[in-house]
Amino acid sequence: MAKKYRFSFGPWNISPGADPFGPPVRAELPFARKVRMYRKLGFTHIQLHDDDVVPADWDARQTQRGVAKVKKLLDSEGLTVEFVAPRLWEDPRTIDGAFTANRPADRRYARDRSRRAIDIARMLDCDFIVLWPAREGTYIREAKDAQAAIGRMVDAVNDMLAYDESIRIAGEMKPNEPMDQAYCPTVGHFMGLAYRTSDPDRVGVLIESAHSILAGLDPADDMAYALWHGKLWSVHLNDQNGLKYDQDKTFGSVDLRRAFNQVWVLDRAKFYDIGVVGLDVKAMRTTKPAHQTKHLANSLAMFNFLLERVRSVDEELVDSLRRSRDYEELDRYILGHLMGKSGK
């Protein structure tokens, strides 16, 4: 592969613009219409929740037929499924969490729904599952046994690993929202857990820039940490303005230098040979329907712009400034380079 990146997003990234304080402001586009937008926007891969493909309450036969129909649609557009994620946070049975719910029947529901997500992934020629543990935490500390909860998360991952002997699973960690506190708030937490599963080589992470930022961490350093372990299998690049609600802003739109460093770390690690670059970005609520994919096109363009900046860094200069510990000059050089000024 010639150092070329592949890009993906999920159908939820073209959205009607509702927020907790106001209703939708754009019509929800039919799934098939969204699918037809991917290639034109420069994307070859699609990310899906299980119920983006077929409703979660369909029986096995309906599911098989429904998935086959979606597969045909994706094939006709030349799209590859990057991952399938079981949506374990909307059904009433997941109100108290999924794998960590206190009721055994709710935990069984989460287990069965995750197995079904694997079935759907397989029908779509995909061997990659992403777990965003949305409600695996609490509003108050005393609601659940936190130690038991971690064990239950390991059990759930083990169940999926046993259900399909070659499926790979990546945890997408987020410190909060919708819960006050998540049991596996960071990449490091999930990776510790991954090593205690029955097949650590098949358990990795997806890092979302905003989720690292919300945990007070630098996304580029988080990515480097997971890359060192050989466990960074996907990313959700976006941006985030401070420690607030999850904003999913256009990549690079808040902090260009922070975005530059994410591309730097990914490119130095040859991520183009490892995984697909996902852009988990959301249009502003003020965006008109005619412009509702601009945030995706702009995020991809920003990645490519920063890639050009990363690949034109004067490596020798950086090395020599590191050796002489002249970080003031390095700081000036990087800022100048980001602004297109090449002066040494």
Q: How far is the CB of 248 from Mg ion (least distance, A)?
A: 8
CB atoms within 10 A of CB 73: 14
SS3 8: strand
31 contact, one of ligand 3MF, Mg ion, none, CB 5-8 Å limit per kind? none
The contacts found for 70-74 with CB under 8 angstroms, 24 or more apart, are: 70/31, 70/124, 71/123, 71/124, 71/125, 73/32, 73/35, 74/35, 74/46, 74/124
Asked if 52 touches ligand 3MF (CB under 6 A), the answer is no
User: Is 52 a catalytic site residue?
Assistant: yes
User: Is 337 a catalytic site residue?
Assistant: no
Q: Looking at 29, 246, 310, 337, which residue binds ligand 3MF (CB under 6 A)?
A: 246
The number of C-alpha atoms within 13 Å of 235 and in the hemisphere containing its C-beta is: 32
Span of 8-16, 203-211, 221-229, 326-334 interacting with Mg ion by CB under 5 A: 203-211
The residue (of 89 and 305) whose beta carbon lies closer to ligand 3MF is 89
Q: Looking at 236, 249, 309, 337, which residue binds Mg ion (CB under 5 A)?
A: 236
| Nearest one of 257, 261, 218 to 336, comparing CA atoms | 257
12 contact, one of Mg ion, ligand 3MF, none, CB 5-8 Å limit per kind? ligand 3MF
Q: How far is the CB of 220 from Mg ion (least distance, A)?
A: 17
CB atoms within 10 A of CB 344: 8
Phi then psi dihedrals of residue 130, to 5 deg: -110, 135
Angle, vertex CA 128, rays to CA 127 and CA 132, nearest 5: 155
In the chain the first and final C-alpha atoms are separated, in Å, by: 33
- Considering only residues 105 to 164 of the shown chain, the ones binding ligand 3MF according to CB under 6 A are 130, 132
Write down the catalytic residue from 45, 49, 236, 337: 49
Q: Looking at 51, 106, 208, 239, which residue binds ligand 3MF (CB under 6 A)?
A: 208
- Considering only residues 21 to 50 of the shown chain, the ones binding Mg ion according to CB under 5 A are none
SS3 141: helix
Q: How far is the CB of 207 from ligand 3MF (least distance, A)?
A: 11
Alpha carbon distance 77, 72 (integer Å) = 9
Asked if 236 touches ligand 3MF (CB under 6 A), the answer is yes
Asked if 239 touches ligand 3MF (CB under 6 A), the answer is no
Active site residues: 49, 52
Contacts with ligand 3MF by CB under 6 A lie at: 12, 85, 130, 132, 172, 174, 208, 236, 246, 280
